[in-house]
């Protein structure tokens, strides 16, 4: 039985954390997209360096070979940072759901107590 509702200041802290993590996630994803675009341009501009046969590589080849790690492994750190941010964001969202569930439980119990007093 929940005697009092969850602390609303804690709700606001969680909401703020979710907002910051969502912003950070979007920024990292934008940085990765920009880097992938530069990689594609580099591979198409200099096919002799990035294609086994010296021809312009296909988009599938570029994506599967260079987009994830980068041309020289430079995107690995950003991808790990993104994974960490997504994990933290999921944790904060789950925490929010737990607090919200506690609030709903408190509301139900309060209503039940009021109804039992009236009857």
Q: Which residue has the higher pLDDT, 103 or 116?
A: 103
Per-position b or e across 87-116, b if 16+ CB within 10 A of its CB? ebbeebeebbeebeeeeeebeeeeeeeeee
Check residue 119 and give its pLDDT.
Answer: 55
| pLDDT of 70 higher than 80 | yes
pLDDT digits 0-9 by tens, 3-26:
777 788 999 999 999 999 999 999
| pLDDT of 31 higher than 70 | yes
Average pLDDT of every residue of the chain: 92
Check residue 6 and give its pLDDT.
Answer: 77
Return the domain boundaries, the chain: 23-112
């Amino acid at each position: 039985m929940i005697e009092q509702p969850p602390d609303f200041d804690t709700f606001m802290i969680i909401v703020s954390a979710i907002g910051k993590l969502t912003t950070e996630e979007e920024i990292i994803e934008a940085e990765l997209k920009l880097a992938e675009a530069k990689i594609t341009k580099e591979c198409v501009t200099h096919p002799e360096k990035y294609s086994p046969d010296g021809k312009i590589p296909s988009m599938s080849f570029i994506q599967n070979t260079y987009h994830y790690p980068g041309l020289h492994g430079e995107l690995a750190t950003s991808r790990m940072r993104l994974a960490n941010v997504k994990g933290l964001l999921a944790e904060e969202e789950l925490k929010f759901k737990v607090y919200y569930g506690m609030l709903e439980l408190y509301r139900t119990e309060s209503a039940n107590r009021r109804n039992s007093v009236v009857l």
